[in-house]
């Protein structure tokens, strides 16, 4: 059965021309591997690069998580006299360096922002904290978080998500528990843990081989009305060794209305395979194909 080609609708001829120009620019950037080279070529062909075209390009690469290209474009724009480099541009730049784990460049951007007189921002501090965490400078990441809590700017939910991830990756389980419990139990906590924080704690206890505590966190999600997802159930399935337990969690996920993904199927097939239950494994594989889920090689959790 052939898929119907999606018919695009444009506002007018000018909008169609702009959309096609932007898509060509995106292809040129991805093809050449250099955003600046493609932007320079585009600017040489016309007298100016429309601001909307540049912003659209930045937003798209941000959505694609291609932070090296985001950083490259912003660093180039910072040197262009025709571009008014704003505070939001600086925040996107330091966020890019945070995602890349380049704390040296993140520090440099933050110093420059301070020099320009911009007020301390939760976005910039969280980005620097993330840069330290990704570079495995866990103590420096923690220091920024503690400083934010004591003197500001006030940490956001994203700040807490990132510091929990940093602690877990750095095997600082006690510190992660302390942060999570403070949000969970303190009446004056600015907000309560969200789904991502619960998922990180389940992963942490799995990493620490504390499966009972992981199950307890899972139960707390339901008690506190935190939405569970396929990812939640996959996390539980990943540390069960008995195929009956894996199958039970899989059934529970489906009863809760969550569709299995390729990871769910892989975990169940693997459990049956280890138990030498080839017929059940094959049945699950066929169910996966019938559901239209593509099989890929899965690295275990």
Taking the CA atoms of residue 290, residue 292, residue 295 and residue 298 in that order, the dihedral angle to the nearest 10 degrees is -110
Residue 97's pLDDT is: 97
Of 1-15, 18-32, 234-248, 279-293, least confident by mean pLDDT is 1-15
Q: Which two tokens stand for residue 205?
A: 């206890």
**pLDDT (0 to 100) of residue 2:** 47
Farthest CA pair distance, the chain: 68
Check residues 124 and 11 and name the one with the higher pLDDT: 124
| Separation CA 136–CA 134 (nearest Å) | 5
Q: Which of 126-140, 175-189, 284-298 has the lowest mean pLDDT?
A: 284-298
Burial of 97 (0-12, 13-18, 19+ CB in 10 A): buried
% of residues, the chain, pLDDT over 90: 70
Q: How many CB atoms sit inside 10 A of residue 25's CB?
A: 20
Please compute the mean of the pLDDT values over residues 218-227 and round it to a whole number: 92
Mean pLDDT, residues 236-252: 92
**pTM: predicted TM-score of the whole model, two decimal places:** 0.83
For residue 89, the model assigns a pLDDT of 96
Tokens of 6: 């999606």
Per-residue pLDDT at 214: 92
**pLDDT of 47 strictly over 70:** no
Q: Which residues contact 160 (CB under 8 A, 6 or more apart)?
A: 179, 183, 193, 197
> Residues 21-39: pLDDT tens digits?
778 778 878 777 788 888 8
Peptide bond before residue 46 is cis, with ω within 30 degrees of 0? no
Query: pLDDT of 57-79, one tens digit each?
Result: 899 999 999 999 999 999 999 99
Over residues 168-202, the pLDDT tens digits come to 999 999 999 999 999 998 888 888 999 999 999 99
């Amino acid at each position: 059965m052939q898929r119907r080609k999606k018919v695009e609708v444009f506002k007018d001829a000018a909008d169609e021309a702009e959309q096609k120009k932007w898509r060509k620019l995106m292809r040129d950037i991805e093809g050449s591997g250099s955003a600046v080279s493609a932007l320079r070529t585009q600017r040489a062909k016309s007298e100016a690069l429309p601001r909307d075209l540049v912003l659209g390009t930045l937003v798209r690469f941000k959505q694609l998580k291609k932070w090296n290209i985001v950083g490259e474009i912003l660093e180039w724009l910072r040197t262009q006299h025709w571009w008014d480099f704003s505070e939001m541009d600086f925040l996107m730049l330091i966020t890019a360096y945070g995602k890349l784990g380049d704390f040296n460049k993140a520090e440099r951007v933050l110093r420059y922002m301070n020099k320009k007189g911009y007020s301390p921002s939760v976005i910039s501090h969280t980005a620097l904290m993330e840069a330290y965490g990704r570079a495995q400078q866990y103590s420096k990441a923690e220091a920024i978080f503690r400083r934010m809590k004591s003197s500001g700017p006030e940490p956001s939910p994203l700040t807490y998500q990132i510091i929990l991830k940093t602690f877990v990756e750095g095997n600082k389980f006690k510190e992660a528990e302390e942060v999570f419990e403070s949000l969970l139990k303190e009446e004056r906590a600015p907000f309560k843990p969200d789904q991502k924080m619960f998922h990180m704690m389940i992963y942490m206890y799995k990493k620490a081989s504390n499966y009972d505590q992981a199950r307890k966190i899972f139960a707390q999600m339901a008690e506190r009305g935190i939405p569970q997802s396929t990812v939640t159930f996959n996390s539980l399935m990943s540390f069960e060794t008995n195929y009956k337990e894996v199958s039970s969690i899989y059934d529970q996920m489906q009863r809760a209305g969550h569709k299995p993904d390729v990871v769910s199927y892989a975990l169940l097939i693997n459990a049956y395979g280890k138990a030498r239950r080839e017929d059940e494994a094959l049945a699950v594989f066929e169910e996966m194909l019938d559901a239209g889920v593509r099989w890929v090689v899965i690295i275990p959790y």
